[in-house]
Structure 1
């Protein structure tokens, strides 16, 4: 089999199409060689996504003086040269999910759809508090790309409520967002005992697909079959109807993949290759995606109303002005802060003009990240064993999920992506935004995606995982800092933790941030001796030794407590923020 020597990969976003060129070097390692971009052309006047793809690839040709397009403007492919693509243009994949119990089968359907790269428009359940006619009206008004339906277990009894959901869908007679005259795809991933009844009810109304049950038992979840079917339907129905995608599909060496699904693939690959737990975030103008892999289990959530431009006023509403103000190193009037955020919503493509405006935007970003993370933790949960012999009324009262899978002490790496994180003027600003939003515990590596090439690397990871991992580690991932954070609380200035690094002792008080120099690639051994009320993962007051590695920022010792202790008074709060920024060598004014 021929060895792949080069890969051109594109990501068709809603506004910009990005192209990257990866080549195999003489030493056998794959590296990023060039990157180009062009406006996405899925809308008028072009109505053909391939125009933007060709333009982005043409920029690669200009940068490298090599040819990647044939005489017809089509990317070339061969045994040794691949062309791959991902896409979120045209609004991405929009889905509605339905289940019998909101906290059980409907929640599993949410996890399956989110993991497949979808934006969930609504979640319907028998016990969601809405009348049947309201559900019918809602389904008709949404016009999703597809519906995922679940309910019942394979080891239980017939669940008539599944039939009830099917009848609601039939009454709604839903139409897809794209494709006039086509039937809406509906995936049934529920009890095998209900397949025949669901088929009889919905068979003539929708394009019904049946896959293995999402919840074979109350204590077991089986998401991959539904996710794979969602991906197949995305290619077959959604992509085929979007302008130019049927042509683009014939160009690629492998199936086109939705952008969020591709990002999830590279996250899973890195977690598997390194045997680590990973948390990733992509914060955009309208939405914030959170990805995690804990104990080998992948989860993704989308906070569709939390973003840094179009949705920034939603962040203000949900977080509250006081929570945004607490991250500011100055005391400005409330009206000024509100107006700055409103201006960003009205003019979403503008960038901050001075340091104060940048700090307001970064303060809002902390809250968007925090809220999206809270949402993620609520869905990334363990299944718990429960008795099977319950009637449906008792099940309604039963919480399906156990504790969250997100364990901050076991988290090895946080990866930040999206404009406000990736393009922050200083690396340390990206660090402190993620530290403030996520409050990492114990030892955690902070990193960021340099130029947002994770989607292209995600689709590559399916074909050449080694190549995707090499480029991710050498060209995509920027290691910012290792952060060591004891968990506990005390009064400001009291003893918190003693750190012994290469024979040098650092006594860090509660409420302090300390930045130590540790160059990129350098390693060190850190002996941590927490005070009796503080824990670094082995129990209160117990010493821990960590092996750390340097980054662009260095090594950060975070002794601000968990939760982070912020003074209540505005003047004291602003002074404390200035102190923390100064500790990281950042300007506060």
Structure 2
């Protein structure tokens, strides 16, 4: 383990599927700050087939911008720092290049052990290719064909409570043996299988499939019906990712000899920084990373971390999946000008076949941001369905067969303290108020919630740093990464437009009375706070119960303090002319441009 007591300079890289990003963090006085950032194309594919070339190129840009020598004559990162001041004390890296971590999960019962396995894999930063379960409705030969065809990086197998029957698990092991699955990378290697099921079935599973696949045993994901133990499986996934996937990807074996700690998968690293922030601030956090192909959602509620990936929801390659899943009517309801369905569909299809293009007009941008609202909403619905407590029933000794009622979701919007948005459409929106409005419309926060965005998407690098030097990661996250947009106050309830809804009395200052159906912006700057008593009208709730006031300290941001009385769920007029007028009214409140003419 690297000695971190005298660390003054840190280089951290994130090898993405298209771009490798490098950041230089330096200690200034008693505080760590981001000083330089560089990027270069990722070189994991032909003609280079060596990820370290992209890393060296990104680090070289940091060298040129900072005036500090970081690379030796062979293009390798110098670590630890030399006596002449060259190099860095710590070099860390994350990666999602080469398609990230792709997994299949298998469980006895789809809604119980398979769902626990899914939560464990998603939390470890995996993209799940399929969920195989005894009761998933497919015939055995179909499951065998599916397992054989998928070629994942690894399989997570679970099921049964400790001490229960072993029949279903041995059947699954027989299925694995019949399928004889091969890993995505590494010719001639056995596919890694993490076994996290009934302890009594371990030996049988090993005897049946041990010569076909590489079995790694960890404690049961569900030792009892009402307890979940995801930690050991997540750690095993991470270790196998380094041992199997990273070692086979072009150039990664070389890169691991450069780094001061193991390479971490990008989504796993983003999850780590979310966990660190929630723990250190003692708050509940919801985070999202919306990309071109996938949307990752992270949450920490009551200290419980969950991550989900919606691998079919994104803003370029997957934009037509959003259209299919949300429906054209749900996208059109967020578009602040008159446009027919055929026009909208064509715009989205154009984006899908030209995924690297960016909007050229305000109209194009507003269509894209309407799609983003639906992608964020759908990914959040998926997250809520998996981030939940446990409630199971046993109908036969030791075997879970049915779930009378699913556990309640852990996502509690009224208790949520902060929403953090990341990914191009949120981090790089032309106006920060556009990011705020997208998150407001998609997540519809309740009570009092801080909205924030990641300035330049450095959360992966800070996530891996948080496992080595948490104070440095936290300081850089708060000073250089997190951009606070401002608090939003949103009462739960519904009424007719213009009816009484909310009164906000600022201590020693003004009182704002906001009727139902409005957005209102109070110009409260970053780091400005104001104590206020928030009183909802009868029938509305801001956290203390219907009609009951709360006294809180409200904080501003680059957008300001937003008072949202549009109802929960947000009420949008169904009549097109009224809808466009209402959407344009909300845009104007936040100082955003509107269109007055229909598209040609």
TM-score (norm 1): 0.98
**Residue 490 in structure 1 maps to residue 495 in structure 2:** yes
8 Å Cα contact 2:221/2:229 also seen in 1: yes
How far is the alpha carbon of 1:396 from its aligned partner?
Answer: 2.9
Deviation at 1:387, TM superposition (A): 5.3
**TM-aligned CA deviation for residue 530 of structure 1:** 0.7
What is the CA–CA distance in structure 1 between the aligned matches of 2:206 and 2:355, rounded to whole Å? Answer: 46
Query: How many Å separate the matches in 2 of 1:512 and 1:125?
Result: 48
RMSD between aligned alpha carbons? Answer: 1.1
1:61 counterpart residue number: 63
Does residue 183 in structure 1 map to residue 190 in structure 2?
A: yes
SS in 1 for 2:105: strand
How far apart, CA to CA, are the structure 1 residues paired with 2:503 and 2:242? Answer: 55
Listed one character per residue, the Cα deviations across residues 386-414 of structure 1 (whole Å, up to 9, x for unaligned) are 55563588x43324741000000010000
CA contact (8 A) 1:218 1:400 kept: no
Q: Who is 1:318 aligned against? A: 325
Structure 1 match to 2:552: 546
Q: 1 CA distance for matches of 2:468 and 2:406?
A: 34
2:110 and 2:593 mapped to 1: Cα distance? 47
Match of 2:347 in 1: 340
1:137 maps to which residue? 145
Instruction: Summarize deviations over 1:196-242 as a string: whole Å, max 9, x none.
Output: 11111111010011000000100000001000111110000000000
Of the three residues 399, 403, 425, the one matched with 1:398 is: 403
The whole-number CA distance in structure 2 between the counterparts of 1:396 and 1:367 is 35
Q: Does 1:361 align with 2:364?
A: no
Does 2:536 align with 1:530?
yes
Contact 2:12 2:22 in 1 (8 A): yes
CA contact (8 A) 1:421 1:448 kept: yes
Counterpart of 1:448? Answer: 453
- The match for 1:245 is 252
Residue 10 of structure 2 aligns to a residue whose secondary structure is strand
Partner of residue 473, structure 2: 468
Query: What is the distance in 1 between the residues matched to 2:493 and 2:219?
Result: 45
Aligned to 2:73: 71
47, 50, 56: which one aligns with 1:48: 50
* Deviation for aligned residue 1:528: 1.1
CA distance in 2, matches of 1:562, 1:269: 30
**Which of 98, 102, 108 is matched with 2:116 structurally?**
108
Distance 1:456 1:206 in 2: 33
Name the counterpart of 1:6: 9
Partner of 1:33: 35
- Of 423-432 and 76-85, deviating more is 76-85
Aligned residues: 585
Structure 2 CA distance for aligned equivalents of residues 221 and 343 of structure 1: 45
For 2:522 and 2:216, how far apart are their aligned partners in 1?
57
What residue in structure 2 maps to residue 292 of structure 1? 299
Contact 1:113 1:230 in 2 (8 A): yes
> 1:464 and 1:379 mapped to 2: Cα distance?
31
Find the aligned partners of 1:250 and 1:399 in 2 and give their Cα distance. 51
Aligned to 2:89: 81
* Residue number in structure 2 paired with 1:93: 101
Q: Secondary structure at the match of 2:440?
A: helix
Q: Cα distance 1:369–1:533, how it changes in 2: closer, same or farther (>3 A)?
A: same
| Aligned position for 2:268 | 261
Secondary structure (helix, strand or coil) at the match of 1:107 reads helix
Provide the C-alpha distance between the structure 1 equivalents of 2:8 and 2:540, rounded to a whole number of angstroms.
52
Whether contact under 8 Å (1:513, 1:558) holds in the other structure is yes
1:197-208 matches, cutoff 5 A: 197-208=204-215
Match among 164, 167, 176 for residue 174 of structure 2:
167
CA contact (8 A) 2:433 2:559 kept: yes
- Structure 2 contact 395–401 (Cα < 8 Å) conserved: no
Residue 516 of structure 1 aligns with which residue?
Answer: 522
Which deviations, in whole Å up to 9, do the C-alpha atoms of 1:275-298 show, x marking residues without a partner?
000000000000000000011111
- Does the residue aligned with 2:407 lie in a helix, a strand or coil? strand
User: Where does structure 1 differ by over 4 angstroms across 4 or more consecutive aligned residues?
Assistant: 386-389
Deviation at 1:513, TM superposition (A): 0.2
Measured in 2, the distance between the counterparts of 1:293 and 1:157 equals: 32
Match of 1:352 in 2: 359
Equivalence for 2:598: none
**1:77: Cα distance to partner?**
0.9
Residue pair 1:153, 1:213 contacting (<8 A) in 2 also: yes
Question: What are the Cα deviations for residues 294-318 of structure 1, in whole angstroms up to 9, with x where unaligned?
Answer: 1111100000000000000110110
Q: Which residue of 2 aligns with 1:425?
A: 430
Structure 1 residue 157, shift from structure 2 partner: 2.0
Taking the aligned partners of 2:455 and 2:493, their CA distance within structure 1 comes to 33
Name the SS for the 1:58 alignment partner: helix
d(CA) in 2 for partners of 1:59, 1:153: 53
